[in-house]
Amino acid sequence: MSISAVKGFRDALPEAARLLGRVETAALDVLARYGFDEIRLPIVEKTELFARAIGETTDIVEKEMYTFPDRDGTLLTLRPEGTASLVRAYVEHHLDQRDPVGRFSYVGPMFRHERPQKGRHRQFYQVGAELIGREDPLADAELLVALWDVLAEVGITGASLLLNSLGDAQCRPAYRDELRAFGESRREQLCENCKRRLDKNPLRILDCKEPGCRAATEDAPRLVDHLCAPCATHFARVRELLDAEGVAYTLDSRLVRGLDYYVRTTFEVLGPGLGAQSAIGAGGRYDGLVAQIGGPQVSGIGFAFGVDRLVLALQASRPEVEAEVASELAPELFIAPLGAAAESAALGVARRLRQAGLRVELDGGRSLKSLMRRADKLKARHVMILGEEELAQRRATMRDMEAKQDRKLAVDIDLTGDELLAAVGARRSA
């Protein structure tokens, strides 16, 4: 009996892997221009990190984390998100002493035990950015502009940005009390999860997706109407900067996110063509998180995109991208050697062309007809044929597969890689 992948964990076959890589590279390139340096983080952390950072009453910590004991009894967790891990690294390595302002990007797999569906897997990939050490509204606006530029670089159109402010420790407690009282007045209309959240974290009732809860909280008090003066001023300035830069957004008073560390500016990006799972990215400000994890009292703000969902949004925005990827995976040159001596020469030719930057497929041990059939199946643009006659003349026969012509081009097989590349002329045009 064959063994299949674990439910919710999928294989990214070459076409999917190519798209994932294209999206990740585009995002990291944009972030690098904004000064964000990539950091590589472990996929396993101590469970207490996420319980402390994300919040013990969040769905992630309560229901979705993959947690297991190490051999010494320490509870470990496959990371469900990147911000807590990055802040842990920031604190552990005293990165504030290297530079009071840190800009970091990251990419890699995350793990959550959710119900698998389109755009949602139990192992998924994120690319994110974190700006630590600044609390001014310009930092918020710059990060959001960077987020918008990532979407443009990836090639996604039709995305929308939702924006809200969650206030801070000065104004949020009074709002929480008011929202809790409101929730108690609608308690019988709420789901069991929201009834439980009323005591621990009443803001989460605004994030519930149950239709009954959404209807019951439709006229709930808005946090943005209860902001203290500093929070209101901060949020107004963020909006002014985004307006000046032409970044469109929609105010969403229900946007509270599923992590407890957010304060002030919070946001979510919705992408096209994803149906119910339309969120492709999100983030916000977390001014108390670094200190909460044991570091200095510094501010931070960041975002993360789900790479799998970015790919779906890209496919919806540019359906032709799949054909582009298929073209990129096709060899620019297929080398067909006929016989042992030709195979030896072909290996050297293939290596020199690969070193010169050409995507080359090398095959052998079968008839020319069979090799040509495989070259055609792979959609190779050119085929280089090496037989006894070609070896005797130290010249190879080239066949143009796209033109469907038998025109042959003689190429000196003793040339260097760059000379071979110029002579072959097999590179696809951009």
Question: Do 278 and 402 share a domain, yes or no?
Answer: no
In the chain, the number of structural domains is 2
Question: Do 38 and 138 share a domain, yes or no?
Answer: yes
Specify the residue for token string 């005797």.
Answer: 392
Question: In this structure, is residue 177 part of a structural domain?
Answer: no
Range of the domain at 41: 14-171+227-321
Question: Do 30 and 92 share a domain, yes or no?
Answer: yes
pLDDT tens-digit map of 227-261: 999 999 999 999 999 999 999 999 998 888 756 77
Residue 416 has pLDDT above 90, yes or no: no
Question: In this structure, is residue 198 part of a structural domain?
Answer: no
Question: In this structure, is residue 250 part of a structural domain?
Answer: yes
Question: Do 277 and 143 share a domain, yes or no?
Answer: yes
pLDDT tens-digit map of 67-117: 999 999 999 999 999 999 999 999 999 999 999 999 999 999 999 998 887
Which of 293, 321, 349 delimits the end of a domain?
321
What pLDDT score was predicted for residue 218?
A: 86
Question: In this structure, is residue 213 part of a structural domain?
Answer: no
What pLDDT score was predicted for residue 276?
A: 63
Our measurement of the distance from residue 118's CA atom to the centroid of its chain's CA atoms, rounded to an integer in Å, reads 16
Mean pLDDT of the chain: 88
Query: Percent of the chain having pLDDT more than 90?
Result: 52
CATH of the domain at 294: 3.30.930.10
Which of 284, 301, 321 delimits the end of a domain?
321
Question: Do 289 and 357 share a domain, yes or no?
Answer: no
Confidence of residue 429 (pLDDT cuts 50, 70, 90): very low
Question: Do 309 and 372 share a domain, yes or no?
Answer: no
Helix/strand/coil (H, E, C) string of the chain? CCCCCCCCCCCCCHHHHHHHHHHHHHHHHHHHHCCCEECCCCCEEEHHHHHHHHCCCCHHHHHHCEEEECCCCCEEEECCCCHHHHHHHHHHCCHHHHCCCEEEEEEEEEECCCCCECCECCEEEEEEEEEECCCCHHHHHHHHHHHHHHHHHHCCCCCEEEEEECCCCCCHHHHHHHHHHHHHHCHHHCCHHHHHHHHHCHHHHHCCCCHHHHHHCCCCCCHHHHCCHHHHHHHHHHHHHHHHHCCCCEECCCCCCCCCCCEEEEEEEECCCCCCCCEEEEEEECCCHHHHCCCCCCCEEEEEEEHHHHHHHHHHHCCCHHHHHHHHHCCCEEEEECCHHHHHHHHHHHHHHHHCCCCEEECCCCCHHHHHHHHHHCCCCEEEEECHHHHHHCEEEEEECCCCCCCEEEEECCCCHHHHHHHHCCCCCC
Residue 132 has pLDDT above 80, yes or no: yes
Which of 321, 346, 371 delimits the end of a domain?
321
Question: In this structure, is residue 64 part of a structural domain?
Answer: yes
* 143 compared with 382, residue with greater pLDDT: 143
Residue 410 has pLDDT above 70, yes or no: no
Question: Do 268 and 363 share a domain, yes or no?
Answer: no
Question: Do 310 and 378 share a domain, yes or no?
Answer: no
Question: Do 132 and 34 share a domain, yes or no?
Answer: yes
Average pLDDT over residues 359-378: 93
Confidence of residue 277 (pLDDT cuts 50, 70, 90): low
- Can you give the pTM of this predicted structure? 0.85
CATH of the domain at 338: 3.40.50.800
Question: In this structure, is residue 420 part of a structural domain?
Answer: yes
